[in-house]
Amino acid sequence: MPATEQIPKQLLHLVFGGELTELDSVTFRDLDGLDVVGIFPDYATAYDAWKQAAQSSVDNAHMRYFIVHMHKLLEPDGVKG
């Protein structure tokens, strides 16, 4: 890679989902049955994966998918370790 090219900063996002016990909570019915869609390098890619997973489960009102901003967990204050 030429010295002038920079690698874009990775802003990792996790997309996962599962069936909730109640519609107004975030308590999963079966932790072993969580659907880990994947880890994505940016929000836009994660959003596309989330949307596809959410649309595929539209018939189950208790099924919810989430996007977790892993980069915020890895560097909570924006400080690199």
List of residues 6+ apart from 39 with CB closer than 8 A: 12, 13, 14, 15, 70
- Total domains present in the chain: 1
Asked if residue 13 belongs to a domain, the reply is yes
21, 30 contact by CB (below 8 A): no
| Residue 70 · residue 13 · CB < 8 Å | yes
Is the whole-model pTM more than 0.75? yes
Instruction: Evaluate whether 20 touches 14 at the Cβ level (below 8 Å).
Output: no
Q: pLDDT tens across 14-56, in order?
A: 999 999 999 999 999 999 999 999 999 999 999 999 999 999 9
Query: Tokens for 2?
Result: 């030429």
Domain of residue 40: give its range. 9-20+36-81
Give the confidence band of 80 by pLDDT, cuts at 50, 70, 90. Answer: low
- CATH code of the domain in which 42 resides: 3.30.70.2400
Residues 70, 13: Cα–Cα separation, whole Å: 5
